[in-house]
Amino acid sequence: MTVGIKDGLKLFGIVVVFACAAFVCTFFLNFYLDALAVRDRVEEASLPLYEAQLLSAKLTCLISGLCLMLVSVVLIAFYVKLYLDGHAKQIGILKALGVSDWKIASGFWVFGLSVFIGGAVGFGGGYAFAPVVYESMSGDGLPEVPLRFHGELLFFLVILPFLCFSALAVLYALLKLRLPVSALLRGKEGKPVNSRPPKKQRAFLTELFFGTLKSRPALAFFVAFACFCFSAMLQMGFSMRDLASEAMGITVAVMGVLLAACSLLLSMTMLVRSNARTIALMRACGYRLTDYWAAVLGGYHIPAFIGFATGTVYQYGLLKLMLGLVFRDVEIPDYSFDFALFGVVFAVFVLSYELTTVLFTLSARKISVRSLAVE
């Protein structure tokens, strides 16, 4: 088997993303199921708030949980492709020796272990955090909702995703293994940045700027997603202090920072690794670190700022939708766009993102033509 258990346990990005998804879905779905059991004890005057809370729990799980699970799907596919590209020659030798594609692909089930770990951590954390949610969503004439354990949630949030994502990794690997043995033995690498001559003559650094961005769309997606999470969940978390509770707001903000940090570090690490030869050649030719920063990492400022802007619009639209549609019959504080909060979050975002790119630029000093030649 070409894939080991350790390979499946290294996918920290998937663990964090899926843990956040399971965390949110656990306490909201648990509350939904427990709240249904006390419906007959709700006073008539409190029915609008009761119905609004049930709908809020369902919408939150649908929007947040589904979004994070889709990102996990993309991450699984990304990691499988990354592993296949990095072990193309080894896999080519196995195929040349007569090992079937199915036998090789079957070992990729281990990539589902990260989903299992993330789901288990998120489920445990969500159940432990549930009393805080129950307390914040009680009162105002609503009866106390007792916390109960629901085994079906453990199955649907931990066991079933593990089985589905393991099967997805195997099927995706099987699809990617359809390459001929000769192509695998040559080593399957990404297309070079300048695979075709540009239509217009441009400077090397300018061409590298646009070429690097276009050649790695998956990394651009993860950079945008990281900035989206930072923008949306940080602004939403601070806004929820007045609309829900301080504990809920802090939880959402912390989750946003974790998701953003994990996705951004993953993206930048892979970006530096995939451009190691380019960086080494630039250093050999006398280019400065600032040239590398501007040409290789500079292009990813575009998806970063797009992600931040999209996250700002998303959190404002989502809160407006929840208050206008879900809680329209309930008296709660009105919500308007907080420009002061936006300014603070944007300043922290710019400082954090630029500091990250600078640190990864400095780490590129360790890359040299000699080290690549040894490999």
Q: What is the DSSP letter of 41?
A: G
pLDDT of residue 371: 52
- 313: confidence class by pLDDT, cuts 50, 70, 90: very high
Q: What is the DSSP letter of 190?
A: P
Note whether 83 and 3 are within 8 A (CB). Answer: yes
pLDDT of residue 199: 47
DSSP 211-224: HHHHH-HHHHHHHH
pLDDT of residue 334: 65
pLDDT of residue 197: 44
Half-sphere exposure of 172 (CA within 13 A, CB side): 22
Report how far residue 256's alpha carbon sits from residue 262's, in angstroms, rounded to the nearest whole number.
Answer: 10
Q: What is the mean pLDDT of residues 225-235?
A: 88
Query: What is this structure's pTM?
Result: 0.72
More confident residue, 52 or 325: 52
Note whether 99 and 44 are within 8 A (CB). Answer: no
Q: What is the mean pLDDT of residues 10-18?
A: 77
Q: Which long-range contacts (CB under 8 A, 24 or more apart) does 196-205 make?
A: 205/291, 205/294, 205/295
Torsion of CA 156, 71, 133, 31, to 10 degrees: -30
More confident residue, 29 or 369: 29
pLDDT of residue 200: 45
CA-based R_g, the chain, Å: 24
pLDDT of residue 370: 58
Backbone angles phi, psi at 231, to 5 degrees: -65, -55
Share of the chain above pLDDT 70, in %: 83
Is the pLDDT score of 351 beyond 70? yes
pLDDT of residue 348: 94
Q: What is the mean pLDDT of residues 310-316?
A: 90
Note whether 50 and 42 are within 8 A (CB). Answer: yes
For the chain, the average pLDDT equals 78
For 182-225, what is each residue's pLDDT tens digit?
777 665 444 444 444 444 444 777 777 777 777 778 788 888 98
Torsion of CA 337, 338, 341, 346, to 10 degrees: 40
- 306: confidence class by pLDDT, cuts 50, 70, 90: very high
